[in-house]
Amino acid sequence: MGTIRDKNFNVKKNLIHAMKISLAAIIATIIAVLFNLQFAVAAGIVAILSVAFTKKETIQTAWNRFIAFIVALIICAICFYTIGFNNIGFFAYIIIYVVICQFMGWNSAMAMDSVLISHFLTFKSMNAEALINEIALFVIGVGVGIIANICLHKDADYMERMKNETDNLIKEALHRMSVRIMTPDMPDYDGHCFNDLRKSIEAASALAHTNYMNQLSYEDVEDIEYIAMRERQATILYEIYKHLIQIKTVPVTAGILSEFFENVSQQYSMENTVKGLLEDFHELDIQMKKTPLPVERGEFEDRARLFAIMRGMEEFLNIKKEYMEKTKLKNN
């Protein structure tokens, strides 16, 4: 479920990213040409290397590369004015700069900065005009890369669809559990629905984190926290499933528990505070404890498994309750 749509979304995202990189490179080059800068195409290359998938990555990368570029200018000035504006001087710069980049984690800056530094070999100087030319190429390239990513927005519509898909898969799992409680020989009850649920949660979580990284002005972690809450619930459901598949009989308490699972499935939604469901659960818990213990060993063991399932369902509901309380406090 959702596989084709997820692939289409990823294709669309990659195409948009490719177009964004291409346009950034073209615009940066054009700007450099308009300013009569030498090696104008280098500004386009810098722009290509400066565009990341998210706003925060782009800003962080730009800052790291700015520091790396300043260091590169200092090193090349020392090497060129000590050894000369020749290949030997450039080789000395390369050796020193690459070692520093390795230690500082500036690997992505090595090639870009070295391309700019190599222009000084052509200038045979690091005078004010040459420095301004290279700094301008760097600023234009990085600046256009940042502006390109400022246009990114949170994909709210797709996020809502992913959240709804995850919720619907959990509702389906609860419904199938309701049926399985009353049908020990239920066909095709092999847990395959949890594979779809896991994939849906992973896709939704990845999108939530991407959206988060595309925010600069505020820290909205609502989607991340919501998917994390559903992931915890899905883990509990799988533990319930492992107890459920071991049940071989239909204990006298199975009917009311099956009805409760179906009720949870019907009411399962983003907005549900689960207050009413927890009240129903506590009434059910009291009712089941009052039920006489079974005589036969098989039913006794299955009643014990139903008790474990009840505890799992209580935790399942409390996870949502805690999430809703936390969300309410944040919004007040």
Per-residue pLDDT of the chain (332 residues; tens, 9 = 90+): 444 455 555 566 667 777 878 888 899 999 999 999 999 999 998 888 877 656 666 677 778 888 999 999 999 999 999 999 999 999 999 999 999 998 998 887 888 899 899 999 999 999 999 999 999 999 999 888 888 777 655 556 677 888 888 999 999 999 999 999 999 888 888 888 898 899 889 888 887 777 666 665 556 678 888 899 999 999 999 999 999 999 888 888 888 999 999 999 999 888 888 999 999 999 988 888 777 766 667 667 888 888 899 999 999 999 999 999 888 777 76
DSSP H helices, 151-296, are 156-182, 192-213, 222-244, 254-267, 275-290
Do 29 and 40 contact (CB within 8 A), yes or no? yes
For CATH 1.20.120.940, list the domain ranges present in the chain. 156-331
Q: Which residue has the tokens 């005009």?
A: 129
What angle, 0 to 180 degrees and rounded to 10, lies between the N-to-C axes of helices 297-331 and 275-290? 160
3-state secondary structure at position 257: helix
Do 145 and 46 contact (CB within 8 A), yes or no? yes
**How far is 51 from 4, CA to CA, in rounded Å?**
27
What is the dotted CATH code of the domain comprising 156-331?
A: 1.20.120.940
End-to-end CA distance of the chain: 37
**How far is 201 from 162, CA to CA, in rounded Å?**
8
